[in-house]
Amino acid sequence: MFSSLIFKTMSDHCQGQNDYLRQFLAHEESYLNDILNLEIPPSDHTCITCGDIEAQFRCLDCYGPHWWCKSCLITSHTHHPFHRPQHWNDESFENVALCDLGYVFILGHSGSGHRCPEDGNFFGDRRLTVVHVNGVFDTCVRFCRCHGAIPEHEQLFRHRLFPSTFDRPETAFTLDLLDYYGIDAMECKTSAQSFFQKLRRVTNNAFPDEVPVS
């Protein structure tokens, strides 16, 4: 008798999968409206940083709602080169690359992060394919070209970027990505090819074959 009472009490407090589903269905319409509202720009087009009314950019990799003009978007991503912002084109949001907006990933003097003494020497700028945990990026990188500068592959490594080659690298992998793959391979037995295919699909789910491979 006592055990039956305990079982009935627990049953009253424990809910099954169907119970949770019924609770969700009660909020289905409001959730759907919220999701649709996320796909339109805010009513106030003012840039949250400078107050420019021409703001047309957001970044889903940044936490919370943000709405920037192009200049403030680039400035706010100085230390976030592997974010993928979106641009409102008057009809929908479309993904854009930071490098296409003018962002340059500056490695600094001999990879130190500090600007080169010969600031203004842009001959080191080069587009580089960088693979991170959230996708594949086409990044404009500025190498140090000062007299006595360390090799390019060392400049990249000092920024936690593992170069694919030692002679004029065109692809680099973040150390965060390599750590992530190591855990994924150990726990999920994911092959390197399948892991990279997943990253290509994360980058462009509709056309993964268009993601560059160097």
**Residue 78 contacts residue 98 (beta carbons within 8 Å):** no
Task: Tell me the per-residue pLDDT of 25-41, one tens digit each, with 9 for 90 and over.
Answer: 888 889 999 888 888 88
The pLDDT value recorded for residue 44 is 85
pTM of the model: 0.79
Cβ burial 144-177 (10 Å sphere, 16+ → b, else e): beeeebbbbbebbbebebbbeeeeebebbbbeeb
- DSSP run (H or E) holding 20: helix 17-26
Position 53 scores a pLDDT of 82
Average pLDDT of the chain to the nearest whole number: 86
Q: Which residue has the higher pLDDT, 19 or 61?
A: 61
Task: Over range 62-76, report the average pLDDT.
Answer: 92
pLDDT score, position 129:
93
Report DSSP state, residue 161: E
Please, which pLDDT band fits residue 7 given cuts at 50, 70 and 90?
very low
Mean pLDDT computed over 48-70: 90
Residue bearing the bigger pLDDT, 136 or 206: 136
Specify the higher pLDDT residue, 10 or 122.
122
**What is the pLDDT at residue 39?**
87
pLDDT in tens, 81-121: 999 999 999 888 999 999 999 999 988 876 666 778 765 55
What is the mean pLDDT of the segment spanning 73-78? 93
Taking residues 182-186, report their average pLDDT: 93
Q: Please give the pLDDT value at position 14.
A: 64
**Location of structure tokens 């990279």:** 196
- pLDDT for position 101: 93
**Long-range contact pairs involving 49-52 (C-beta distance under 8 Å, separation at least 24):** 49/75, 49/76
Burial class (CB in 10 A: 0-12, 13-18, 19+), 92: exposed
Provide the edge-to-edge strand list for the sheet that holds 161-163: 105-106, 135-142, 125-132, 171-174, 161-163
